Amino acid sequence: MLTKKVEEICNRQIEREGYSSNLYMSMASWAENKGMAGMAAWLYAQADEERMHMLKFIRFVNERGGVAVIPAFKQPPVKYKGIHEMFKEVLRHEQFISASINEVLAASIAENDYATTNWIQWFVKEQVEEESSVQLIIDKLALAGEQGIYFLDRDIMRMRGEK
C-alpha cells in the first residue's frame, strides 16, 4: 500500500513523464519541419518511451492501492533556435527528470516503502542512460558542425540501439 506522500509524488511524476512525451513530440515535429527526419525519428521514439514511463507510474500507483491521476499537460514550446539548442534543452529536461526520480526515491525511503524503493531503481538506471544518450548527441553535434548535421541526421536512429 502506498502512503499518501508516495502516492502524491508518484502522481506528480505521472504529469512530468506525460509532459516529457509531449515535449519530445513537439521537438520532433519542429525537427521534421526543418527537414531533419532522423532527428525527428529519434525524438518521436523518445516521446513513445516517455509515454511508456508515464504508463508504468500509472499502473504502479493503481497496483499499490493508490489512485493514479491523469492530469492536463501544459503545452510545450513549438519553436527552437536551432538543433544544438534544442538538444541542450533535452539534456536539461532529462536532468530535471533525473532529479524528480531521485525525489520519488527519497520519499519512498523516508516512508519506509521498500516496494517503491525497489521499483524506482529501474528509473534511476534509465535516467543515467537517458542523460548519457543525449550528451552523446550533443557531443556529436559539436564535432559535426553545421556541415555535418545532414550526415548525423541520417545516421541518428542507429544511436537508439546504443542504449
Answer whether residue 133 shows pLDDT above 50. yes
Query: Minimal CA–CA distance to 152: which of 41, 20, 26?
Result: 41
**What pTM value is reported for the model?**
0.89
Percentage of the chain exceeding pLDDT 70: 90
- At residue 155, the pLDDT reads 72
Q: Provide mean pLDDT across the span 144-160.
A: 69
3-state class (DSSP) for residue 72:
coil
Architecture of domain 4-69+79-162: Up-down Bundle (1.20)
- At residue 146, the pLDDT reads 63
pLDDT in tens, 79-115: 999 999 999 999 999 999 999 999 999 999 999 999 9
